Amino acid sequence: MMILAVIMFWFATVIIILGHMLSFSEIELRFPIIDLCKVLGATLLMYTFHEALHAFAAMLWGKVPWRSIHFGFQWQPGVLYCHVDRSIKIGNYRIFVLFPLIVTTPTAGLILWLDPSIWSLLLFCITISACAGDVMVFFKVRRVENDKWVQDHPSAMGCYILSESKINGG
């Protein structure tokens, strides 16, 4: 997953730099201490927002009740997570997995557009690379038949594909 995150980070960087070169605008290259504070604070907010978006997608599309959504932090990889303890139809799980990427990328892009500087470029790249695990999970389940149900893994990235007898604890 770390390799995918690095690839996504550099891909986002190249896209932003090419976009700015084509628009003939400039990115402020100074990096004062206030910008370090901005990128750290905004990254923390974006990570929190990212996990909240997983929960929102689970409730809206997966019809998962709030009591079945759990948040946490894994110390070793240093990541926040959102876990759903109910089974979800695979199509809704795909939305659950990709919804933060769909929402946070334009949000970070808007911040970059409003304040074209190194801190906002870093935030954009970090925001995209933070979705690497979600993208990996999506590609793992992309070929699962649409009539299947899945159960989010309680402690690792990914899910279990369920047999009909195991749906929602059955």
- 151 in a domain, yes or no? yes
User: Does the residue 29 lie in any domain?
Assistant: no
Distances (CA, A) of 119 to 39, 114, 164: 5, 12, 48
Domain that holds residue 142: 2-18+35-169
How far, in Å, CA of 104 to CA of 47, rounded? 9
Residue 30 is assigned to a structural domain of this protein: no
- Counted domains in the chain: 1
| Residues 159/93, Cβ–Cβ less than 8 Å | yes
**Model confidence pLDDT, tens digit, residues 104-129:** 999 999 998 888 888 898 999 999 99
Tens-place pLDDT, residues 30-81? 778 888 899 999 999 999 999 999 999 999 999 999 999 999 888 877 788 9
27 domain residue, yes or no: no
Whether residue 45 is contained in a domain is answered as: yes
* This prediction's pTM: 0.84
* 132 alpha carbon, distance to own chain's centre: 7
